Amino acid sequence: MLGRRRMLRQALRGAGNAPAQQKLHEAQRLMAEGQFVEAAAMFDELGQQAVQHGMIRPAINLALQAGRACAQAGRGDDALAHARRALDLILNAGQPARATRAIPRAAAFLRAQGFTAQAAALEKEAAQRLALLGLSLQALPNVGTRSLPSTCPQCAGPLRSDDADWIDAVSAECPWCGSTVKTV
């Protein structure tokens, strides 16, 4: 089995004009600069590439990021569509426990951007699909002031404490490789 760092590199290596890792950095830069439509398109493209390479964890994260970018661009329905695709990927990958955390975060983000109806639709669909598996959506953990390292110790993917998949107050799941990252 390949190491996680190598797997991530493979996942991010695209067939387009620029290496996918470079595109990911570009998409993150566009987000930081408020170019949300362009960022969303780039996250979406990277996500499709990740799916084609069978790299489901990065694909899930990229779909969630595309959704956030759309929400910030004022495109609530597109944001919902990306979040639904992330939900599909999570459930198809047999990782429903991840959805119990990721979907409430995505819904909270939609709500924060004013997309109340889309947030409710996402929560309803996720709750119904998770109920079939005996699971329910979790309340968002109280993150407090703890910080994650800026990059994942396992795969070197960028992490953000204010945008992390928190498991509890001192640990979060790396969105890129799925390992548990402790606060510093």
Which residues would be at the binding site for Zn ion (CB under 5 A)? 152, 154-155, 157, 174, 176-177
- Whose Cβ is closer to Zn ion: residue 3's or residue 34's? 3
Closest approach of Zn ion to the CB of residue 39, in Å: 21
81 Cβ contact list (under 8 Å, min separation 6): 67
Distance of closest approach, residue 104 Cβ to Zn ion, in angstroms: 21
Instruction: Choose between 67 and 157: whose C-beta lies nearer to Zn ion.
Output: 157
Specify the residue, 136 or 150, whose C-beta has the smaller distance to Zn ion: 150
What is the rounded distance in angstroms from the CA atom of residue 108 to the CA atom of residue 104?
A: 6
Amino acid making up residue 23: K
Q: Check: CB of residue 101 under 8 Å from CB of residue 68.
A: no
Q: Which two tokens stand for residue 101?
A: 């955390």
Whether 85 and 101 have beta carbons less than 8 Å apart is answered as no
Q: CB-wise, 44 or 165, nearer to Zn ion?
A: 165
Tell me the closest approach of the beta carbon of residue 51 to Zn ion, in angstroms.
Answer: 19
Q: Nearest approach, Cβ of 152 to Zn ion (angstroms)?
A: 3
Min dist. Cβ of residue 171 to Zn ion (A): 13
Separation CA 167–CA 179 (nearest Å): 11
Choose between 104 and 157: whose C-beta lies nearer to Zn ion.
Answer: 157
Distance from C-alpha of 77 to C-alpha of 11, rounded to nearest angstrom: 28
N residues, the chain? 184
